[in-house]
Structure 1
Amino acid sequence: MHLTSSDIEDLERRRRAALINSITGYKPANLVGTVNTQGQSNLAIMSSLVHIGSHPPLLALIFRPDNAERHTLDNIRDTGSYTINHVHAGIIDAAHQTAARYPGDVSEFAATGLTELQLDGQRAPFVAEAIVRMGMILRDELPLSINGTHMVIGEIVSLDVPGDAINELGALDPAKTDSIAISGLDSYYQSSLLQRMEYAKPDKAPRRI
């Protein structure tokens, strides 16, 4: 199947959304925990997490346009605090359910059976059932005029991860934390390591570790 720009534009709205949401392939599945200024917690599944830099440790999330209630984005703006929690195979059902449009006075933690966890003085709650958890503070927000979305850039201020999931180079092996990936809006995949490669150099052939 070959589609031109006009072919994509002519696709039925839901089919176009399904295709473009999934065309990037596997994306990380994370639960973003926040709390409003009245102490009401919120939890939302997101797959737009992007590495921005390591020093300082910065990650970005993309939020949809402000044409509907965005509890997560509003809470981050108001408090400057949020958490990012890897979804693993054991909590897929509950994690997926957080995408439902609950009213602002309903906590997705309570609605889905997930447990709030307070750690490291972070104002926003972590997910107790998660294996990898990151405490974040808001560093910047960039409105993207091309489609009305918002890029939220945060700094990792705390990290909770099993020591045996860190390899000899210091990198996380997501297969050891059972972290899963998502494609589109509804398809979840389990990760496994295929191979590791040496640092690429122009004068050396590719070499597996």
Structure 2
Amino acid sequence: MIYNENAIAAFERRYRANFINSLGGFKSLVLIGTKNSDGSENLATLSSLFHLGADPALCGIILRPATMFSSTLDNILEQQYYTINHVSPVFVQQAHQCSAKYPKGVSEFEKVGLTPEYLEKIPVPFVRESKIKFACNFVQETAIELNGTTLVIGQITTAFVPNRYLKDDGYIDIEEAGTITSSGLDSYHTTSRIERLPYAKP
């Protein structure tokens, strides 16, 4: 089948969301940990994390339009810090539940049964159950007027990676760590490596 612009626009709203979200393929699945000035902890499910560069160490996330339920962007701008936590199969259901629209001030940690953890004097919570996690310092916010989303760029300040997953050349074996990925809005996957190839040269 061929789906042109008019056909896609005519899809029912939820059908179109599923179609477009799965069209791009597999995505990183992470939990974003934040906290506000009142001490309320927040945990958000995110599949829009992407690498921006290694020197300096930058990554980006796309946050959906703010609603009365969303706290992540407000907390990042307020505290200037956030954590990014990999998801493992043992807590994928809790990670998925963090995408529910809980009111501001309600802790997703508490609602879904995950554990906030504070490390290295970083003022926002990590997920204790996560094997690989890192902290970011807020660097830049860019409003995307096309759809009301926000690009947030952060600089990676501290990373927590168990030694057994870190290879001699700096490669982190996220498959060995059990990190899972996502497709669409609600489908979660483990991975199977085909092979790891040498640096490509002409």
TM range (shorter): over 0.9
For residues 124-145 of structure 1, the C-alpha deviation after alignment (integer angstroms, 9 at most, x for no partner) is 1000000001011100001112
Instruction: Provide the residue aligned with 2:181 in structure 1.
Output: 181
Whole-angstrom distance in 1 between the partners of 2:120 and 2:192: 31
2:63 is equivalent to residue 63 of structure 1: yes
Shift of 1:123: 0.8
Counterparts in 2 of 1:17-56, with a 5 A limit? 17-56=17-56
Alignment of structure 1 residues 128-139 onto 2, 5 Å: 128-139=128-139
Alignment of 1:188-203 (within 5 A): 188-202=188-202
Q: What whole-Å deviation, never above 9, does each CA across 1:61-103 have from its counterpart, x for those lacking one?
A: 0011235432011100111111000001111011111111111
Measure the CA separation in 1 of the matches of 2:9 and 2:68. Answer: 24
Q: Say if 1:65 and 1:148, in contact at 8 Å, map to a contact too.
A: yes
* CA shift digits 1:42-68 (9 cap, x unpaired): 001100001011011101000112354
TM-score under structure 1 length normalisation? 0.94
Distance 2:54 2:166 in 1: 16
Distance 1:177 1:95 in 2: 17
Which ranges of structure 2 fall in alignment gaps of 5 or more residues?
none
Mapping for residues 1-209 of structure 1, pairs under 5 Å: 1-202=1-202
**Residues of 1 paired with 2:115 and 2:12: CA distance?**
39
More divergent stretch after superposition (36-45 vs 59-68)? 59-68
| TM-score where L is the length of structure 2 | 0.97
In structure 2, distance between residues paired with 1:65 and 1:27? 20
Alpha-carbon shift at residue 112 of structure 1 (Å): 0.7
Alpha-carbon contact 1:174-1:191 (below 8 Å) kept: no
Aligned partner of 1:124: which letter?
A: V
- Kept in 1: contact 2:60–2:154 (CA 8 A): yes
CA RMSD of the aligned region, Å? 1.0
Tell me the CA shift for residue 167 of structure 1: 2.0
Give the 3-state SS of the residue equivalent to 2:21 in structure 1: helix
3-state SS of 1:99 partner = coil
Distance 2:67 2:41 in 1: 22
Q: 2: CA distance between counterparts of 1:72 and 1:15?
A: 26
Partner SS for 1:21: helix
Give 1:170 deviation, angstroms: 0.7
Identity %: 42
Contact 2:138/2:154 (8 A) holds in 1: yes
Worse overlay, 101-110 or 38-47? 101-110
Deviates more, 1:66-75 or 1:153-162: 66-75
SS of aligned partner of 1:6: helix
